[in-house]
Amino acid sequence: MSAGGQVGLKSVYMRGGSSRALFFHTDDLPGSVDDRDSWAPIFAAALGSPDPGGRQLDGLGGGISSLSKIAVIGPPTHPDADVDYIFAQVAVKGTNVSYRGNCGNISAAVGPYAIDQGLVEVSDGEALVRIHHVASGKIIHAHVQVENGQAAVSGNFAIQGVAGTGSPIRLDFLDPGGSATGLLLPTGQARQILMVDGRALEVSLVDAANPVVFVAADALGMKGDEKPSDIDAAPGMLALLDELRVAASLAMGVTKTQEEARTLVPNLPLVAIVSAASQDADIQVRMISAGQPHKATPLTGAMCLAVAARLPGSVVADLVQQTGAGTLRIAHASGVLPVDAIVENGIARSVTVFRTARRLMEGNVLVPATALGRQPS
């Protein structure tokens, strides 16, 4: 469909957890999954990037990293999966579209999308959708309630950062270690020193669900309970944290050069500032993703934190209130998030979280014809 110099592409707009994304089926995008570079200008235009003002007013993005995401779903290429899932993080102010890493919140919407699109056969009750996250090669099991052949929306389950309640979706991330680097501990150490702007910072570099660099709040002169706006306003803090991210990216092998870390993969690793929590939680965290302090911790970051808490000697293990089996209660800027992690003999077996999701809009998203390499009609 083309009109007025624009092209319409079939898509679905969904909330998954505390994030939102445009969902596309591979059949509705030009080119192939092996030519993702051609998708980047389409995704950026659909969300309204680049926007120097940071608002994405000319698209469907929301001006922050958690609202500037894309999911592409297609037929499975893994024998243990029902669908393939490609995640893309779109820069707000720039043009970068990164296919590295994952978003746990958006992962929660993949099962409902697949069910409602008729990509999997289901019966009413609880359905299992097996998701192959292409970038990591990992499998995610989504347990979704089905009513009248469609993914259930209504329910009594609430999550922090999202108003109201919905139908719970259980996500089991299987064998989450080494999602981006191939190793749970990419440097082979649970704790080490990174030099950042002449400062020696003690950190833990862990890769589970997504790579994360963990640093204690007091090492940065913070209390750990700061609001995201406080971190954003602190002179030089975000710049320091991004330098830490770049140093960690090189140390973990996420990227090979500083330039690559700054331009090609600006969203990884996540930066987690950890501190001891009150009696209502086991650990407290403030997370930075794509250069922005998160109002609700990224789900993959929380999963990695839960795994790190089970690793003796890590920065997280020293601060957590309990390290045994069971649910870890993670205090973040919007509340408390429970996460279950099973780690045996230094191997992350699985991480389980609960989310909600909802289909918000379906139809065609309009992008300039030039985003597809076409001349306007």
Please report the pLDDT score of residue 376 as a whole number.
64
Please report the pLDDT score of residue 322 as a whole number.
61
Please report the pLDDT score of residue 326 as a whole number.
72
Q: How far is CA 372 from CA 38, 43, 48, 99, in A?
A: 7, 10, 15, 19
The pTM of the full predicted model, rounded to 2 decimals, is: 0.89
Neighbour-count burial for 213-234, b at 16+ CB within 10 Å, e otherwise: bbbbbeebebebebebeebeeb
Please report the pLDDT score of residue 375 as a whole number.
67
Please report the pLDDT score of residue 323 as a whole number.
53
Q: What is the pLDDT of residues 128-186, one digit of tens each?
A: 999 999 999 999 999 999 999 999 999 999 998 899 999 999 999 999 999 999 999 99
Please report the pLDDT score of residue 311 as a whole number.
95
Neighbour-count burial for 183-206, b at 16+ CB within 10 Å, e otherwise: bbbbbeebbbebebeeeebebbbb
Please report the pLDDT score of residue 299 as a whole number.
92
Neighbour-count burial for 75-84, b at 16+ CB within 10 Å, e otherwise: ebebeebbbb
As given in the structure block, the two tokens for residue 252 are 């973990």
What are the mean pLDDT values of the chain's consecutive 10-residue runs (377 residues total)?
A: 84 97 97 90 97 96 95 98 97 92 96 98 97 97 98 95 95 96 97 96 97 97 95 95 97 96 92 92 94 88 96 94 74 92 94 97 97 76
Please report the pLDDT score of residue 374 as a whole number.
77
Please report the pLDDT score of residue 279 as a whole number.
77
Domains in the chain (CATH in brackets) are 2-168+357-372 (3.10.310.10), 192-341 (3.10.310.10)
Please report the pLDDT score of residue 16 as a whole number.
97
As given in the structure block, the two tokens for residue 161 are 């950062």
Contact, 371 vs 41, CB < 8 A?
A: yes
Find, among 298, 299, 297, 321, the residue nearest to 309 by Cα.
321
Q: Please state the φ and ψ torsions of residue 146, each to the nearest 5 degrees.
A: -120, 130
Please report the pLDDT score of residue 141 as a whole number.
98
Please report the pLDDT score of residue 325 as a whole number.
61
